[in-house]
Structure 1
Amino acid sequence: MTDIQRKETKPRMSRIVIHQGTVYLCGQVAADASKDITEQTQTMLDKVDGLLIDAGSDREHILSATIYIKDMADFKAMNQVWDDWVPAGHAPARACVQASMARPELLVEISVIAAQK
């Protein structure tokens, strides 16, 4: 039987799931949804950093990222924050789609899969 480790588990989901050296993060959103796309993207990525560290990984080990953006008019501003955040030479596979959000004030959400260090 393969070990599956779950962290910060609640009835609906775990914030981190680790299986065979692969880290799966639940969707992350901004710390303050009243802010603009730049601030929402930065604080969302800050949360990803913290979760990856807790899981024994970091942004250089991200394998895949799926970004959900409320309005593609914010795509360029979101990408400016993303491009500064991703370490040179370590860009993951990535998809970005326009999507309805769970709360109307949310502008961006990310789901990440990474390898442990």
Structure 2
Amino acid sequence: MSSLSKAEIEDIREVFDLFDFWDGRDGMIDAVKVGDLLRCSGINPTIALTVKHGATIKQGEKQYKFDEFLPCYEAILKEKETGTYADYMEAFKTFDREGQGFISAAEMRHVLTGYG
């Protein structure tokens, strides 16, 4: 039994159908597109996380029907990789040289353009 609401299933079905439309309208999507499909639905998983739950690196290795894809989606949704508040605070402290509790716009621009 799915832990997703009917509305959530309809939303992910709509994205799945769009990918299927561009992939031949056969009711299936290639497993290599699982990460892209998830990103289009608002989730931003790593490649490693998608592969762990059924995505592939090479095209043509595996195909998913919607009913087969849904458990992968749920598993990735539950395991969404996020940092903790402490992780983010530690990262910002690295760039807060004066210890004032904020980063200047120039410093943030330097960090984002210099380090990605």
* TM-score, length-scaled by structure 1: 0.29
More helix by share: 2
Higher relative contact order (CA 8 A, sep 6+): 1
More strand by share: 1
Which has the larger Rg? 2
